[in-house]
A and B are shown apart, each in its own frame.
Chain A
Amino acid sequence: MSVEAIFVMATFTAPEEIGVNPQSMLWLLPLAAAIAVVYKATKLPTIKARNFIKEAVILFGSIIVFIIITALALYTLARLITE
């Protein structure tokens, strides 16, 4: 096994350093993209690149918009309760 392969495998044995900060919320973006892609791969009757990408992007956008709306609603509720 080459040194490069061993190095790549070794990166999977120690966790990355990720702080608890607002930027760590960005980790939801790749996850939302994966959900949109797999969901559309199972739901579309035929897979054509252009249509598939369009549908997946629309679903990804919908998920993000819904999360933002939910976050704003919860933030407003928290402000109303605590003030």
Chain B
Amino acid sequence: MARPSKESRTLLMLIVGLLAWLVPGAGHFVLKEKKRSIIIFATIALTFSVGIYVGSIGVIDLFGSTPWYVVLAQVMNSPMVVLLGRLTTGPAYPVYSQPNEIGQIYTSTAGLLNLLCIVNAVYLAHLRSAETAGE
């Protein structure tokens, strides 16, 4: 069997990383880690959903006064959060005080957990391709 080239290994890691960002758990799913991917998807989706349930979709405030590090952590959930952020631009979904804080903490923690899963999926892809290459 032909060994994968360095370019194809890099491409695999890139695809796995992008998929893992697009849908939480998808990176592990393409690596045939189905149980892991289901657990990751269910937990991150639930954590994010609790955040926007408590604080409303108004907690996704990409272009408002929310600190940049919170916005960055929220976007790590999925690029679809950016679409949600465009929807909530403006004063249509006001949220203040405790619900805002809890919502932001939940959504940004879900994003940071997904970042952990993206890094883990890319590392697994690297290990798998290194095994195939016989390194």
Instruction: Tell me the count of chain B residues lying within 8 A, CB to CB, of chain A.
Output: 33
Tell whether, in the assembled complex, residue A19 and residue B116 are in contact, meaning their CB atoms are under 8 Å apart: no
Known: A16-B55, A19-B98, A38-B117. 16 other contacts (CB 8 A): A13-B93, A14-B56, A15-B54, A15-B58, A16-B99, A20-B98, A27-B102, A30-B47, A34-B44, A34-B46, A34-B110, A34-B113, A37-B39, A38-B40, A41-B40, A47-B33
Considering the chains assembled together, what is the distance between the CA atoms of A14 and B88 in angstroms?
12
Chain A residues in 8 Å Cβ range of B50: 30
Within 8 A of A (CB), among B25-42: 33, 35-36, 39-40
The reply on A66 being an interface residue by CB < 8 A is no
Chain B residues in 8 Å Cβ range of A13: 56-57, 93
Considering the chains assembled together, what is the distance between the CA atoms of A30 and B55 in angstroms?
15
Query: Interface residues of A toward B: which range?
Result: 20 to 34
**B109: nearest residue on chain A (CB-CB)?**
A31
Tell whether, in the assembled complex, residue A47 and residue B58 are in contact, meaning their CB atoms are under 8 Å apart: no
Tell whether, in the assembled complex, residue A20 and residue B97 are in contact, meaning their CB atoms are under 8 Å apart: yes
The reply on A11 being an interface residue by CB < 8 A is yes
Considering the chains assembled together, what is the distance between the CA atoms of A48 and B103 in angstroms?
32
Interface residues of B (CB under 8 A from A): 33, 35-36, 39-40, 43-44, 46-47, 50, 52-58, 93, 95, 97-100, 102-103, 105-106, 109-110, 113, 116-117, 120
Considering the chains assembled together, what is the distance between the CA atoms of A64 and B50 in angstroms?
20
Considering the chains assembled together, what is the distance between the CA atoms of A17 and B56 in angstroms?
11
Tell whether, in the assembled complex, residue B100 and residue A31 are in contact, meaning their CB atoms are under 8 Å apart: no
**Min distance, Cβ A48 to any Cβ of chain B, angstroms:** 9
Interface residues of A (CB under 8 A from B): 11-20, 24, 27, 30-31, 34-35, 37-39, 41-42, 47, 52
Tell whether, in the assembled complex, residue A15 and residue B109 are in contact, meaning their CB atoms are under 8 Å apart: no
